[in-house]
Amino acid sequence: MAEKKSSEREVPVEEPMTETRALTDNVKEKTLTSTTPEETEATGTVLTGTAALWKCLAKAVNLEEGWMKSTKAMQVGSAGCLIQVTTQQKNPDGSYSLAEAVCFAERVNLVEEGGVAKLL
């Protein structure tokens, strides 16, 4: 029997019926407003290790538009600070996209004054 060329292969007329579910089915809406470990734990998140190593420098949230931007810092001995910037946005399909960047700032100190963290 002669082998059929790829252009002569039979193609099914109908795709088989399969049940699909979106990845966001049965998932609660994300909490974008937490800035402390205590607020994060209140949402049902389980924290491991020292959660307070990173200090929130700034955070902006728009729940109506579904986006969040934050800047956090962590002191690394006397050498400087790690700085992390996060952007999260809700996509039209209800899922979220996330972008993060981390850099090291030499000879910078993280201090808290009046409950507000800042870099010096």
Out of 27-31, 104-108, 112-116, give the one with best mean pLDDT: 104-108
Structure tokens at 47: 């924290």
Range of the structural domain that residue 74 is part of: 27-119
Give CA–CA dist 7/23, Å, rounded: 36
Give CA–CA dist 91/69, Å, rounded: 15
9 found inside a domain: no
pLDDT tens-digit series, residues 20-44: 555 555 666 777 777 777 787 777 8
69 found inside a domain: yes
The number of domains in the chain is 1
17 found inside a domain: no
Out of 13-17, 41-45, 107-111, give the one with best mean pLDDT: 107-111
Q: What's the predicted TM-score (pTM) here?
A: 0.65
CA angle 108, 114, 119 (to 5 degrees): 10
Give CA–CA dist 84/101, Å, rounded: 6
